[in-house]
Amino acid sequence: MIRSALKPALQATTLLVASSLALAACSKKAPAELPPPPAPTTTTEAPPPATPQGPAPGSQADFAQQMMGKDTIYFDTDKFNVDADDQAALAQQAQWLAKYPAKKATIEGHADERGTREYNLALGERRANAAKNYLVSLGVDAGRLTTVSYGKERPVALGSDEASWAKNRRAVTVTID
């Protein structure tokens, strides 16, 4: 269940990174004139590792597969504390990161839709930071970890119900290939 909830989040991340890189290469100037809407970002090809059999060791795909859903931790409403389940998940992440000491990772913080937009941006940041702090306490170099908050802008579960909101209050660790 968690795994199915997780997959879109990972894809979303890859795409966001890809599109921001693309942007960085372009002019910083935003067009003044009404531009045609670009094709939905979902059609951007996310570059999957071209490994025929299983992901390459040390890749983000490898990380996602090894974690089996434990690349994501979940939070209670309005909370950002790391509980026992989260600690176990973060310990697994730390192990993987210890195995690949050159790898960097971004922790994405998210909130459910039942809060105001700006507060949720700050709350997502707080959650991502809580996950980061715990990883650092387990020995991961803080310089390898960055955080980014999406507030309530990138839900992974689409319903407007408690079960969906619980899946969306999350911090997802994404390693950078």
Partner 1 sequence: MKTAALPLIALILAAPLAAQTASPAAPAAQPEGGLTGSVSDETPWQDLGIAIPTFPTNADVPTQASAGSTAALGKALAQVITADLKNNGLFKPTGPDALPQPSFGQVVAPDFGIWSGRGAEMLVHGYVRAAPGGNLTIGCYLYDVALRQQLVKGGWEVQPAEWRRAAHKCADLVYSRLSGESPFFDSKIAYIAETGPKDHRMKRLAIMDSDGANHRYITTGQSIALTPRYSPDYGSILYLSYFNGSPRIYVYDLDKGTQRLITQSKNPTFAPRWSPDGKWILYSMAAAGNTDIYRIPASGGGTPQRLTNTPGINIGGSYSPDGSKIVFESDRSGSQQVYVMDADGSNQKRITFFGGRAATPEWSPRGDQIAFTHIVGDLRIAVMSPSGGNLRYLTNSWQDEAPTWSPNGRIVQFFRTAKGSGQASIWQVDLTGRNERKLPTPVDASDPAWGPVRP
Footprint of partner 1 on 83-142 (CB under 8 A) = 113-119, 121-123, 125-126, 129-130, 133
Task: Please say which residue, 74 or 80, places its beta carbon nearer to partner 1.
Answer: 80
Give the residue among 149, 153, 157, 113 at the shortest CA–CA distance from 131.
149
Binding test (CB under 8 A) with partner 1, winner from 1, 25, 35, 84: 35
Binding test (CB under 8 A) with partner 1, winner from 76, 78, 85, 162: 78
Give the Cα separation of 17 and 165 in Å (integer): 25
Q: What is the nearest approach in angstroms of partner 1 to the Cβ of residue 91?
A: 20
Q: What is the nearest approach in angstroms of partner 1 to the Cβ of residue 112?
A: 11
Q: What is the nearest approach in angstroms of partner 1 to the Cβ of residue 53?
A: 30
Residues that bind partner 1 (CB under 8 A): 8, 12, 16-17, 19-20, 22-24, 28-32, 34-35, 37-38, 40-42, 78, 80, 113-119, 121-123, 125-126, 129-130, 133, 148-151, 153-156, 158-160
